[in-house]
Amino acid sequence: MRKEVVVAAVTTAAAVVAVAVLLKQSKRRSERRWRHAQRILRKFARDCATPVPKLWNVANGFVADMQAGLGSSKSNVSMFASYVSSLPTGDEKGLYYGITNSTPAVREVVAEVCDIVAERGARLAGAGMVGIIKKLDRSANKKSVVTVEGGLYEHYWLFRNYLHSSVWEMLENELSDNLIIQRSHGGSGAGVLFLAASQTENAAS
């Protein structure tokens, strides 16, 4: 009887040790995967970085493209007109995928990727605004109001903050006061109407 008890105790101890080893190995693998994911995220963030010198390259390139596009005597503003066949009504049917088995680590990675992409997009949009203001020669001593339409700017406050900060960094404190960015309340439909009206007036004249 005593021998059976000893054998059972040894077997149980061996099983506990084996399970502990497996758990430790699994934890190490998870930590390696997490460190690898973090390295990928850091590289992604570095590749997507938009320091002020790079933003000025974008803005100046934007100005050069506009000057090249409108510099020819054969060019006119009508080339910017576009035909809108239909506008979304909100009743469109779509597919929605619910993700229910994600871990906190996976959700953290997704959130970091979204933040990197949003920051890059917002800062490049800010550089485009500065490029247009520079092309119009309004950055030095004239007040300008830029209206932004869209749910991304309205509801995603990080995107809005990134956009504003890029403009402030490029124009610095003194000149950034001349540029006011605010949300448009007219929506896409108002922009289409203004564009159509301007093109109709140009055609009539």
User: SS3 of 183, please?
Assistant: strand
DSSP string, 98-160: ---S--HHHHHHHHHHHHHHHHHHHHHHHHHHHHHHHHTT-TTT--EEEEE-SHHHHH-HHHH
The pLDDT of residue 193 is 67
Between residues 163 and 81, the one the model is more confident about: 163
pLDDT-based confidence at 48, cuts 50/70/90?
Answer: confident
The pLDDT of residue 38 is 79
Compute φ and ψ for 180, nearest 5 degrees: -110, 125
The pLDDT of residue 82 is 41
pLDDT-based confidence at 18, cuts 50/70/90?
Answer: low
In angstroms, the CA 203 to CA 158 distance is 42
Q: How far is CA 139 from the centre of its chain?
A: 25
CATH topology of domain 50-62+101-205: Hexokinase; domain 1 (3.40.367)
Between residues 170 and 30, the one the model is more confident about: 170
pLDDT tens digits along 111-137:
888 888 888 888 888 888 888 888 777
In angstroms, the CA 79 to CA 81 distance is 6
Provide mean pLDDT across the span 149-169.
85
pLDDT tens digits along 54-91:
888 878 877 776 666 555 544 443 333 344 445 555 56
The pLDDT of residue 78 is 39
Provide mean pLDDT across the span 42-47.
80
Provide mean pLDDT across the span 152-174.
84
pLDDT-based confidence at 196, cuts 50/70/90?
Answer: low
Q: What is the pTM assigned to this prediction?
A: 0.59
The pLDDT of residue 40 is 80
The pLDDT of residue 26 is 66
